[in-house]
């Protein structure tokens, strides 16, 4: 695997691949890789001739008081993991490479509607930072395909809208969440959890699953969500949000939707965890719900 840090050699190498008629898949990451990231590489490997991973801890998507300075940088280990999974090219630029004129005057990309509420309601400006860096990386790499994890489901929705609205000729592929054996969604931030909090953390997904089952059986969203919120708080989580949305993150409407997406964010200590769950309402219950 080749590692590049500057834009000019990246463009030169990718030009060579395109001239040879090879398809390209992109896997953007912030590094500190785990099996969830590597599953994205596997998916990209199955879809394209050339897999490009990027490693960039993006300051624009961190708010004041968030963990930009503490976010783990593990380049050597990440390179070993990517090489073992068959990644062809790693682009790991410095902040000054992507934002040469500084952050204050950097042009930013705003994706309306889907970036509002949920994580966007708590982390103000976060998705502008995500949309900006993803736009840059899509422009620089110009892949045929880009793979993103479904754990960050709102981020995936933002990127899909970005690509559709700006007519990027790129297929965005969502890859299912990878979980530990106890159900906790894999995340680079799981390493922040104390042993006690790590033992408690799987209760987040179990609660989402019980809520999803209740919704699928026909329990009203208001009652199912209220019970799940109470369960999370009683278990020791500090709730950020727990909501039911439509499949594309529009407000859920029982008269229109037979599927939904349950999304939540909680804190254990200072560590913020996010997760989500697809909810498919059973046809026998759908008629009852729709009246």
CA distances from 39 to 43, 77, 148, 174 (A): 6, 16, 10, 11
Based on the residue annotation, tell me whether 34 is a catalytic residue of this protein.
Answer: no
User: Cα(163)–Cα(145) distance, rounded to whole angstroms?
Assistant: 11
Q: Which residues contact 7 (CB under 8 A, 6 or more apart)?
A: 93, 97, 140
Give the integer Cα–Cα distance in Å for 85 and 89.
12
Q: Which residues contact 114 (CB under 8 A, 6 or more apart)?
A: 154, 157, 158, 161, 248, 249
Tell me the two tokens of residue 6: 């500057």
Rg (CA), the chain: 20
Choice among 5, 34, 37, 139 that is catalytic: 37
Please report the DSSP string for 266-287 in residue order: EEETTEEEEEEEEEE--HHHHH
| 36 contact partners, CB below 8 Å, separation of at least 6 | 149, 151, 177, 178, 185, 186, 187
How far is the CA of 56 from the CAs of 53, 139, 197, 220, in angstroms? 10, 15, 28, 42
Catalytic center residues: 37
């Amino acid at each position: 695997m080749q590692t590049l840090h500057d834009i000019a050699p990246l463009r030169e190498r990718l030009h060579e691949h395109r001239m040879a008629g090879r398809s390209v898949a992109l896997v953007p990451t912030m590094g500190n890789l785990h099996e969830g990231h590597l599953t994205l590489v596997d998916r990209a490997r199955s879809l394209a001739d050339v897999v490009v991973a990027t490693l960039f801890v993006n300051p624009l998507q961190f708010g004041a008081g968030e963990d930009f300075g503490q976010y783990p940088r593990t380049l050597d280990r990440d390179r070993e993991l990517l090489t073992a999974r068959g990644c062809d090219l790693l682009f790991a630029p410095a902040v000054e490479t992507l934002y040469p004129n500084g952050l204050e005057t950097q042009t930013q990309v705003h994706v309306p509607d889907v970036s509002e509420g949920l994580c966007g309601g708590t982390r103000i400006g976060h998705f502008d930072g995500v949309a900006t860096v993803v736009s840059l990386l899509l422009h620089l790499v110009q892949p045929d395909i880009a793979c993103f994890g479904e754990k960050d489901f709102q981020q995936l929705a933002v990127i899909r809208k970005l690509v559709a609205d700006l007519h990027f000729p790129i297929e965005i592929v969502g890859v299912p969440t990878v979980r530990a054996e106890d159900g906790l969604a894999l995340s680079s931030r799981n390493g922040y959890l104390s042993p006690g909090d790590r033992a408690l953390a799987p209760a987040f997904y179990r609660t989402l699953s019980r809520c999803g089952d209740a919704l699928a059986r026909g329990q009203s969203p208001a009652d199912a969500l209220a019970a799940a919120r109470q369960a999370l708080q009683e278990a020791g989580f500090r709730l950020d949000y727990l909501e039911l949305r439509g499949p594309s993150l529009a407000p859920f409407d029982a008269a229109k939707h037979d599927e939904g997406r349950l999304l939540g964010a909680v804190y254990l200590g200072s560590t913020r965890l996010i997760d989500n769950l697809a909810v498919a309402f059973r046809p026998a219950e759908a008629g009852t719900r729709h009246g």
